[in-house]
Structure 1
Amino acid sequence: MTRLAKGSTIRRDAGLYGYERALARQGLHPVAGVDEAGRGACAGPLVAAAVVLERPIPGLADSKLLTEKRREACFDLIMQRAADVSVVIVPAADCDRLGLHQANIAALRRALWKLEIRPGYVLTDGFPVDGLGVPGLAVWKGDRVAASIAAASVIAKVTRDRLMVRLHDEFPAYDFATHKGYSTPVHQAALREHGPCDQHRKTYVNVKAAMEGTA
């Protein structure tokens, strides 16, 4: 990963599209933002998304700051207005096999590579992702300060939430539709009662404890 080009300093009041505008002024465009959802969950897939925006998305913000209704509305607008969108889904078993961080990095790379538009610059949320083939920058709390990352966070979150609702129909005992695979008290109680299913990440401490009967 690289630093922003000289002259591309982002002012605090630049707004959500400040990074994209500054990079465009340096000829570093189009800009792709990548982010993931489900990193902290103990069940269900990890979902990574990459987005190239070509125009502003009304109401766009970090997916965690939006209500479910607003996320769904933003999702639809991004799908309609973005220049390019890609999604990668990593099953729970692959998160266990590869290790979460490696699975996460690989998914973000794959999401970028799946874009039909080759970006001139990549913005990632929080930590750097090597091997992207183009210059990029890891942005602290990027889903709150960079539009393309925020858009990727919405795509990843909504896609994953929808998958978890479908998994709820297959595994109703765990209430995946409500907690989306995160370790809530309700989820922990279901793990203790039923043990893990094949959608649980077996390398997670709480899932291991449920498997061993020590949760």
Structure 2
Amino acid sequence: MDIFEYDKQEGVELLCGVDEAGRGPLAGDVYAAAVILPQGFVLEGLNDSKKLTEKKRDLLYDAIIENAVSYCIATASVKEIEELNILNATFLAMRRAVEGLNVQPKLVLVDGNQNPKLSVHTRCVVKGDATSACIAASSILAKVARDRYMKQVAYDYPQYQFEKHKGYGTALHYQMLDEFGVSDVHRPSFLKKYLSGKQNKTQLKGALGEQTTADYLVANGYEIVAKNYHSAYGEIDIIAQKENILAFVEVKTRKEKGLATAREAVSRSKQTKIINTALMYLQENGLKKQPRFDVCEIYLDSDTGTIVTEVNYIKNAFTGDGRNAYI
């Protein structure tokens, strides 16, 4: 049975199809469309939107809008997705789409197996976008409208290349997230696992850098007296002593070399926080040694980020006196 015959057998004059687009992406609003096609209407090539090319969807989109008895495209925002969860936000978009029709349908066919609790008689149709013509039409309107919306989002946030992945969790999208972080069009609840993993990776990278620095210092005659010392001003990664010197060490761990040196990467405000924290340490411990502020830059391999490829230790890094003074 083809999709037009399925609708014809319903025997309902004002038969409405409803479908959504954008439940799965990591970013952007979720879309839904409701479409009432003329009874007995046949549109060549109408099918599940996922089985059509972008060009074919665009052509059918125009034809559906031109011939529909009534149609409405509605959305639920990222904020609503976060407040309601994606399923309930999708149902909200579906209800908005049906309520936005200028003709009241007699029966609504909804793609899937979950009822969005519409105000009119509703029946769920599993794989409805490949079964019913009116659902297929709604799937095309929702898909095309959302894709066009994501192209506009891409214009506003060009760094994420939304026009290519439409917000879905592709390798490119995760690469852009790694580089630029999370934007206000992303769905935080969809990124919990990613953000947790990213945080863990950052922590592991930092721990590797600090341990490598500590090992390097010990190998060069220093004694480690404190790690991750905290004060109200901030934190010092490592404090080490050798002879009459007490070194306060900031560790910078990177996967690749950049244009800025380690010393340049430690801003003036960061230096001030470290100096104030060092003063707190000296007051608490009463050590009569010459304080020195150093930076140790640890480079990791670019592939796995777990193998140390270079250790660059800079003495008196805050003053510039020892930019090339290595242990």
If the length of structure 1 is used for normalisation, what is the TM-score?
0.87
Residue 214 to residue 89, structure 1, CA distance change in 2 (3 Å) = farther
1:213 aligned to 179, 199, 213, which one? 199
Structure-2 residue corresponding to 1:41: 25
Cα displacement (A) at 1:164: 0.5
% identical aligned pairs: 37
- Rounded to whole Å, the distance in 2 between the matches of 1:32 and 1:214 is 48
Conserved in 2, the CA contact under 8 Å of 1:195 and 1:210?
no
Distance in structure 2 (CA, Å) of the matches to 1:84 and 1:183: 34
| 2-structure distance, mates of 1:136, 1:19 | 16
Q: Using a 3 Å threshold, how does the CA distance of structure 1 residues 47 and 207 change in structure 2: closer, same or farther?
A: farther
1:157-212 Cα distance to aligned partner (Å, 9 max, x none): 00000010011111011110010000000000111111110100011135761796
CA contact (8 A) 1:53 1:84 kept: yes
How many residues align? The count is 199
Q: Is the 8 A contact 1:196 1:210 kept in 2?
A: no
Give 1:91's aligned residue: 77
Structure 2 residue 8 is the aligned partner of structure 1 residue 21: yes
Aligned-partner Cα distance in 1 for 2:145–2:119? 26
* Larger CA Rg, structure 1 vs 2: 2
**Alpha-carbon separation, structure 2, partners of 1:210 and 1:180:** 23
SS at match of 1:34: strand
Partners of 2:178 and 2:193 in 1: how far apart?
Answer: 9
2:54 corresponds in structure 1 to: 68
Say which SS state the counterpart of residue 81 (structure 2) adopts.
Answer: helix
Q: Give the conservation status (yes or no) of the 8 Å contact 2:94–2:116.
A: no
2:60 is aligned with what amino acid? C
The answer (yes or no) to whether the contact 1:200–1:207 under 8 Å persists in 2 is no
Indicate conservation of the 8 Å contact 1:57/1:81, yes or no: no
The answer to whether the aligner puts 1:110 opposite 2:104 as a matched pair is no
Q: TM-score, normalised by structure 2?
A: 0.58
Q: 1:214 to 1:38 in 2, by over 3 A?
A: farther
| Higher RCO (C-alpha 8 Å, min separation 6) | 1
Unmatched segments (≥5 aa) in structure 1:
1-13
Which secondary structure does the structure 1 equivalent of 2:188 belong to? coil
Alignment counterpart, residue 53 of structure 1, candidates 4, 12, 37? 37
Structure 1 residues 150, 36: closer, same or farther in 2, change over 3 A? same
Deviation per CA, 1:20-69: give whole Å up to 9, x if none.
21111xxx331000001000001011011000001222211100000000
Query: d(CA) in 1 for partners of 2:29 and 2:94?
Result: 14
CA deviations on 1:75-98 (whole Å, 9 max, x unpaired) are 010011111110112221211111
C-alpha deviation, 1:129, in angstroms: 2.1
Q: Tell me, yes or no, if structure 1 residue 30 matches structure 2 residue 5.
A: no
1:47 maps to a residue whose letter is Y
Q: Is the 8 A contact 2:18 2:110 kept in 1?
A: yes
SS of structure 1 residue aligned to 2:72: strand
For the residue of structure 2 that corresponds to 1:137, the secondary structure is strand
Say if 2:174 is the partner of 1:180. no
Offset, 1:136: 2.1
Residues 120 and 59 of structure 1, relative CA distance in 2, 3 Å threshold: same
- CA contact 1:195–1:211 (8 Å) conserved in 2: no
